[in-house]
Amino acid sequence: METLGRGMFDVYALALPRGHGFGERLPYEAWQSEDGKACAIVTRHAEDGSIGLIVMRRRTDGVWAVTLDNVPQPDVAAATALAERELAVGRPPLPVPPGVQRRTALYDLQGRTPSRIFQLLTAPSHQNVGWLLNQLYLSLPRPDPNWAADCQTENFHTRLWEAQLLASFREQGLLVTQPVESPDFRIENRKGGAAWVEAVTANPQQRFEPVNARPSFQPEEPTELFFGAAALRFAKTLGSKLQRDYADMPHVKGMPFAIALADFHAPASMMWSREALLGYLYGMSAEVIEIDGERVATAGEASELLGTSGFPAGLFRNDAHAELSAVIFTNACTLGKFNRLAVSAGAPDHGLRYVRYGKFFDRRPGALDGIKFSLDVTSGEYRGQWPQGYEPWCAELEVFHNPFARSPVPEALLPEATHWVELDGEQICRSHYATNILWSGTLIQNQADDIPTYDGVPAYLESVARRRRTEQAEPETLDPEGA
């Protein structure tokens, strides 16, 4: 059997019902079989030091099944010996239990024509994305029967978001189940706190091909950024979900209910659309102006979004939608996110370099802008931004709380997210990680290329675009979503 490194262990552990939530029985050592079809985890109790062993084996459809669940062992040596027997090569995969739906293989197209973005997962630059997405698909408790077909074709981003949500929840140690068709997830912590979550994506009015799409750009005027077209798209997306009255369903009623939103309404729009969500939810905006030669931040408000629709701004400014407890959001549901997490956690780089550039949140008092960065995701400086030693799923996860919610989402239910809450009439945010990234993009380079500085990134992107026009360069030289 082979030792499991921290990064690979953390991926496999996402298949456990509580993911990384081992409670008092903490992981001590882990191995996988030589054929990769089984793994074993030795646990040690934090207080009494007692030893246990968890063993997982693959079913015939690739799904992990727990065959030994923290079985007590007299000591580590005995646990190791049992693990060696359980992980012996040659043991057949487990059958799919009677009455359990067999998981359709994600690579099996069954005659369907895949979308270009799904095809991209076979390129060397994105093989890690395909591998990681498949691991999360196999870890879902009970995915929709059409999950694989949707992922392969026109609903790739919807399924990508569901997979990322699962990883984000279980990374925080939550029990994640899918006991009913909707809402999508029920999450619960060990203290009994629970909530329902429905996933949704903000989609374009007219579909576009995301691979090599020309990026959209941030509106120059603050009012357009906070209350313009992106805010209206969020309003319509959330409104369509609110019309379904999830909070009144018998299994949801009286419990916190949140909508998890990811933005795909325009190419690379998630690099700048976060402000539009703030504008729509709270009717607030911010801009930097110059007063007496000094740059200062000012706040603004609006009661309506821009345009002729007269759509109201400030979903969370009164109790009209008290049934919605919170909106969960990320600006990093991208192939770049999957690539960075896999590579920074130790997955093979296939001879390529992955560079993340953007701006860190500047926590210094009075700071009006972020701190520029451009880093190789395998570098010690990048990995050292987080205590895991690699980029976590929850690094960009934010929870926007409704101050008028009938059933609020406790902050402790999602402890590793950034929370936006109202305090003394003011919106404040509380972050779990010391490092927060305002926005970013991901470059995929040959190892021989120099890492561009932040200011050199636009020139690098233009050079790649020029090569594509003149040399028909391979599409994997850049992440297609760019966020």
pLDDT 10s digits, 125-137: 999 999 999 999 9
Give the single-character DSSP code of 92.
P
Q: Total structural domains in the chain?
A: 2
Nearest to 261 by CA among 244, 251, 276, 250: 276
| Residue 292 banded pLDDT, cuts 50, 70, 90 | low
Q: Are residues 387 and 420 located together in one domain of the fold?
A: yes
Helical segments of 347-390, H only = 380-383
| Residue 478 banded pLDDT, cuts 50, 70, 90 | very low
Q: Are residues 265 and 367 located together in one domain of the fold?
A: yes
Please give the Cα distance from 266 to 454 (Å, whole number): 23
Nearest to 35 by CA among 94, 104, 93: 93
Look at residue 8 and give its three-state secondary structure.
helix
**By mean pLDDT, which of 10-19, 321-330, 441-450 is the weakest?**
441-450
Q: Are residues 336 and 251 located together in one domain of the fold?
A: yes
- Inform me whether the pLDDT recorded for 52 exceeds 90: yes
Residue 105 lies in a domain: no
Q: Are residues 133 and 205 located together in one domain of the fold?
A: yes
What confidence score (pLDDT) does residue 347 get? 87
Strands of the sheet with 371-376, listed across from one edge:
371-376, 352-360, 437-446
| Residue 396 banded pLDDT, cuts 50, 70, 90 | very high
What confidence score (pLDDT) does residue 212 get? 73
pLDDT tens per residue across span 98-114: 999 999 999 999 999 99
- Structural domain containing residue 182: 124-477
- 308 versus 67: the higher-pLDDT residue is 67
Q: Are residues 244 and 338 located together in one domain of the fold?
A: yes
Q: Are residues 66 and 189 located together in one domain of the fold?
A: no
Q: Which two tokens stand for residue 439?
A: 């926005």
pLDDT tens per residue across span 334-390: 999 999 999 988 888 888 999 999 898 887 776 667 899 999 999 999 999 999 999
Could you give the count of Cα atoms lying within 13 Å of 477 in the half-sphere of its Cβ? Answer: 16
Q: Mean of the pLDDT values across residues 43-72?
A: 96
Residue 109 lies in a domain: no
Helical segments of 244-334, H only = 274-282
Please give the Cα distance from 83 to 323 (Å, whole number): 48
Look at residue 439 and give its three-state secondary structure.
strand
Q: Are residues 130 and 83 located together in one domain of the fold?
A: no
Q: Are residues 72 and 151 located together in one domain of the fold?
A: no
Give the single-character DSSP code of 483.
-
Q: Mean of the pLDDT values across residues 233-262?
A: 96
- CA distances (Å), 126 to each of 118, 340, 425, in order? 10, 10, 45
| Residue 428 banded pLDDT, cuts 50, 70, 90 | confident
Residue 207: Cβ within 10 Å count:
8
pLDDT mean across residues, the chain: 90
Burial of 48 (0-12, 13-18, 19+ CB in 10 A): exposed
- 451 versus 421: the higher-pLDDT residue is 421
171-175, 422-426, 456-460, range with greatest mean pLDDT: 171-175
- 192 versus 17: the higher-pLDDT residue is 17
Q: Report the length, in residues, of the chain.
A: 483
What confidence score (pLDDT) does residue 370 get? 85
What confidence score (pLDDT) does residue 244 get? 96
Q: Are residues 309 and 403 located together in one domain of the fold?
A: yes
Q: Which residues, 6+ apart, have CB-to-CB distance to 205 below 8 Å?
A: 265
- Inform me whether the pLDDT recorded for 475 exceeds 60: no
SS (H, E, C) 114-167: CCHHHHHHHCHHHHHHHHHHHHHHHHCCCCCCCHHHHHHCCCHHHHHHHHHHHH
Residue 482 lies in a domain: no
Percent of the chain with pLDDT over 70: 93
Q: Which residues, 6+ apart, have CB-to-CB distance to 268 below 8 Å?
A: 213, 215, 216, 441, 481, 482, 483
Residue 227 lies in a domain: yes
DSSP-based helix, strand, coil % in the chain, nearest 5: 30, 25, 45
Q: Are residues 178 and 88 located together in one domain of the fold?
A: no
Please give the Cα distance from 174 to 168 (Å, whole number): 9
Percent of the chain with pLDDT over 90: 70
Residue 118 lies in a domain: no
Please give the Cα distance from 399 to 417 (Å, whole number): 7
Residue 114 lies in a domain: no
- Inform me whether the pLDDT recorded for 401 exceeds 70: yes
Q: Are residues 294 and 333 located together in one domain of the fold?
A: yes
Please give the Cα distance from 166 to 174 (Å, whole number): 9
Nearest to 287 by CA among 232, 229, 220: 220
